[in-house]
Structure 1
Amino acid sequence: MDVHNLDISKNIGFGGWFTNNPKLTSINVEGWNTSHSTVFANMFFNSQALAGVDLSSFDTSQATDMHSMFQHSGIRTLDLSKFDMSAATNISDMLQGTNHLWQIKLGPKVNLTGTGLRIRQ
């Protein structure tokens, strides 16, 4: 799905935008202005065919709710190196059930405590 450069600059929330989408294998969100967005909850919840998404253009500095953002998705690689989770008050289950996730890149403002991420050896 190509939705890059979609003008979402006035949008404050993405709750459930791509939830339960069994046909979503990839999505291009490049160029999205998320600087005013506070809710990313359930954004990709249960999108089991989704293997990856480039979120490098996301500004999450205002995000307060990121719960279940990737929960039970098919995500395999995830780059959160530019995420700013400093304002987030709800990150519960953000990564719970991401059983296919094998690579995650973190940045200095990422907090995984309470996200449900399980490290397997």
Structure 2
Amino acid sequence: PGIGHNQPGDLFLEVTFAPHKLYKTEGNDVYLELPVAPWEAALGATVKVPTPTGRVDLKIPPGSADGRQLRLKGRGIPTKPPGDFYVVLSIALPKADSEAAKAAYEAMAKSFNFNPRANLGVE
């Protein structure tokens, strides 16, 4: 019975999420921006990733670019059907704050034939 012995009815709830420092939501999907080292993106790596339900090991494929999204199916918001959990790769550059670090960057510059602006028509 409902309140005051009336007919039973439906209860509608509106659920909102407070912003989280690690996760963003879009619909039933959850997103995490994951910092990765350049060598992890270039060579591939297995890294630990925090999810709302605990840590998981995530394999980063070799040749991954900044902004690449890796999906963990069904690990988003637990609805029917459940949402997905997306890891968005964010390549983090080490600082060139020592002579050794500067030398490593200079060696990379000499070793790679790489111009990130090549497709812009500028040299």
Both proteins in one fold, TM over 0.5: no
Larger Cα-atom Rg? 2
Please identify which structure carries the higher helix content: 2
Per the normalisation by structure 1, the TM-score is: 0.17
